[in-house]
Structure 1
Amino acid sequence: MKNLIMALILSMTAVSAMTQVTLLQPTQRGNFVIGSRIGFSTAKSSVDVQSTTGSIKGDGGSSAQFNLSPGIGYFFAQNFVVGISMDWLKTNSSTGVDLNGGTLAPQKSENNNVLFGPFVRYFFPTGEDKAFFLGTTVGFGNSKNQFVSNNTTQTINNSLLTIGVGPGFTIYSKNGLALEALVKYNFARSNSEINVQDVNRISKTWTNAVDFSVGIQYYFGGFKAALK
């Protein structure tokens, strides 16, 4: 995580040295924006498990999530930006229903995911140095985990899809930097496939969450040679 934050800071510093920092209007057509947000959320889930030995539906447990979301976008039209972003998610969770059909107590776990996907925002300026915006994001990711059961290595394949939408508010400075706050509703769907002792099990989990995040963005109007 520290390396990711340092890389983002260095990227913004390099862009600052190569770009025109004085903007008459940060969200005008042809401008770029680069930056990142840090957020936190809690969530409840439901689960539906289908296997050759039966099905289980019920409480999918609860989770608390920390996320870091760097990205870069381009204003294709006045106040309208489209870009690409990365989400690093660190999740602490507690299971709900016993997925093996038993009565085991909830288990705690921790995992990390990296997602990539597009984002879209439309800004509603309320003055020369501030604006409301409405945005949406889509993230895709895959992961593979292995564990040993009865001296046999088992593999779990996971796929994750997230969709988020929500309003935000940003305040600009004259040098192109901006501070923003965002409230976002997130829907996530994860699919997991595992084979244990010749029993194939597919697990689908749906998660609904609302998170609050803050971030720093840098708006610039084009590239030019760095000053010597």
Structure 2
Amino acid sequence: MKHFFCFALLLLSASTTFGQLTKGHWLVGGSGKFYSYKNEIVSSVSTENGQYTQIDLSPNIGYFLADKFALGIKSTISSIKGDFSTPSGGITGGSSSQRYLFGAFSRYYFLEEAKQTNILVEASYQAGIIRGLNNTKGNLNNFSIAAGPVIYFNPSVGIEFLLGYVTNYEKYTSQVLSENKNGFQFSIGLQIHLIK
């Protein structure tokens, strides 16, 4: 009997579940990303190759300007750890740093709102600052595009699973070097759709 009750509750909730994707509604939430990449750092005196892991937490708020299309602002706090070496094999080491970014995003949902699941695509641009070991400081720019499904628990709350590509340019002010990073990312997010 217990299993039948759970199944009936699930079936009932599935038939009434949808996202609020209508013009004039708000979108509030955030995501977490795991990003693994290889990079090359070029300075005036050397070149380094590295393997890094990055974890991001990104709260956001958006507004539906049209049905299924939202624009908003997003901030990101990143923690990066990894190891590097020079191509000649002479120097190896590890590093750790934090990044603080702020910018804008746009997203589009492909399916109608009266669905328990939907497919979305999101593009974002952010700029920010870097703080690392030994008083390392810098600036960065980040562009990403991602797509994937969103599954709604009720009329307002959904969980997202996004896979995408990110490109990142960093310029360190405390040293004469710059860094380009490109790679794939996977994020899980929770969004709340609010009625105006």
Return the TM-score normalized by structure 1. Answer: 0.71
Structure-2 change in CA distance of 1:25 and 1:183 (3 Å): closer
The answer to whether structure 1 residue 214 and structure 2 residue 193 are counterparts is no
| Whole-Å separation in 2 of the counterparts to 1:110 and 1:202 | 18
Partner of 1:44: 38
Percent same amino acid at aligned positions? 22
What stretches of structure 2 of length at least 5 have no aligned partner?
A: 1-15
Native 8 Å contact 1:42 1:64 kept in 2: yes
Partner of 1:113: 99
Task: Tell me the number of residue pairs that the alignment of Structure 1 and Structure 2 aligns.
Answer: 180
Can you list the C-alpha shifts for 1:127-174, whole angstroms capped at 9, x where unaligned?
Answer: 522211111111111245684xxxxxxx64301111111212112233
Structure-2 change in CA distance of 1:143 and 1:112 (3 Å): closer
Equivalent residues in 2 for 1:45-194, closer than 5 Å: 45-50=39-44, 55-57=45-47, 59-97=48-86, 103-104=90-91, 106-125=92-111, 128-143=115-130, 147=134, 156-194=136-174
| Whole-Å separation in 2 of the counterparts to 1:77 and 1:175 | 18
1:34 shift after superposition = 0.4
Q: Which amino acid aligns with 1:112?
A: Q
1:214 shift after superposition = 1.0
Native 8 Å contact 1:23 1:220 kept in 2: no
SS of the counterpart of 2:111?
Answer: strand
Partner of 2:28: 34
Q: Which amino acid aligns with 1:165?
A: I
SS of the counterpart of 2:106?
Answer: strand
| Whole-Å separation in 2 of the counterparts to 1:97 and 1:193 | 21
| Whole-Å separation in 1 of the counterparts to 2:181 and 2:192 | 32
Q: Which amino acid aligns with 2:31?
A: R
| Whole-Å separation in 1 of the counterparts to 2:111 and 2:140 | 34
Q: Which amino acid aligns with 1:56?
A: S
| Whole-Å separation in 2 of the counterparts to 1:115 and 1:177 | 25
Native 8 Å contact 1:23 1:221 kept in 2: no
Return the TM-score normalized by structure 2. Answer: 0.82
Instruction: Return structure 1 stretches of 4+ with deviation > 6 angstroms.
Output: none
1:82 shift after superposition = 0.4
Superposition CA RMSD, Å = 2.4
Structure-2 change in CA distance of 1:89 and 1:146 (3 Å): closer
Native 8 Å contact 1:191 1:205 kept in 2: yes
